[in-house]
Structure 1
Amino acid sequence: MDFMGMMKQAQALQAKMAEAQAELEALEVEGEAGAGVVRITLTAKGDLKGLSIDPSLLKPEEKEILEDLIVSAHAQARAKAEAATAEKMKSVTGGLQLPPGLKLPF
């Protein structure tokens, strides 16, 4: 067993993981609802970066609709962020099979 070779591979994987983390922090995804009248921008890490609301929704009687659209747009953006994260981690680990429930990054 080549212990030094394994250590080098582990260090290379660690460097790739750090690079992937930096890329994911910079990657932004957008979710929308109501045919685009509400838009939310998140980083792939899930940080809210922006919220856009069409002025037509800014009526007191539309409050509940607006709230629902914001939740829907956020859910869509979050799903895109999770998919981007999963794809990036898959490319970093080279398809390494991880135990169920174990998510990268730790």
Structure 2
Amino acid sequence: MADFLGMMKQAAQLQSKMKAMQTELEQIEVEGLSGGGLVKVRMTAKMETKAISIDPSLIRPDEGEVMEDLIVAALGDAHRKAEAAMQDKMKELTGGLGLPPGLGLG
């Protein structure tokens, strides 16, 4: 019975740490870039897009498709960086045990 109570205590502590980490992930921001920095995306480590910046040189009617591609690329770059930041925080929390691939904290 003592083992069960110890496990329950550890689970409660882990849950508390997870909540704190979720709050911290909302505060961590990364920047994704594309087109040599012509398009920038700012995103939290919880994958919330905060801002998109587009260099004025791209804002031309004949460059619409290029701009769309650069936005998608910048979002992908920001997403990868946010995922890496989330994984780093998870390693801190779990003592380096890590998460299985694809298991997010959403």
Shorter-chain TM-score above 0.5:
yes
Distance 1:101 1:55, change over 3 A: closer
Q: Unaligned regions of 5+ residues in structure 2, if any?
A: none
Q: CA deviation at 1:97?
A: 6.2
**CA–CA separation in structure 2 for the residues paired with 1:97 and 1:85:** 11
**CA–CA separation in structure 2 for the residues paired with 1:33 and 1:14:** 37
Greater than 3 Å deviation, 4+ residue runs: none
Distance 1:82 1:68, change over 3 A: same
8 Å CA contact 2:25, 2:86 repeated in 1 = yes
* Higher fraction of helix: 2
TM-score normalised by L of structure 2? 0.88
Q: CA deviation at 1:35?
A: 0.9
Q: CA deviation at 1:2?
A: 2.4
**CA–CA separation in structure 2 for the residues paired with 1:39 and 1:102:** 25
Q: State the partner residue of 2:36.
A: 35
After TM superposition, list the pairs within 5 Å mapping 1:84-95 onto structure 2. Answer: 84-95=85-96
Q: Unaligned regions of 5+ residues in structure 1, if any?
A: none
**CA–CA separation in structure 2 for the residues paired with 1:95 and 1:76:** 24
1:62 maps onto 2:27 in alignment: no
TM-score normalised by L of structure 1? 0.88
Aligned length: 105
Q: State the partner residue of 1:75.
A: 76
8 Å CA contact 2:32, 2:76 repeated in 1 = yes
Distance 1:54 1:97, change over 3 A: closer
Q: How large is the Cα RMSD of the aligned pairs?
A: 1.9
Aligned residue identity for 1:105? L
Q: CA deviation at 1:101?
A: 5.6
8 Å CA contact 2:87, 2:98 repeated in 1 = no
Distance 1:36 1:102, change over 3 A: closer
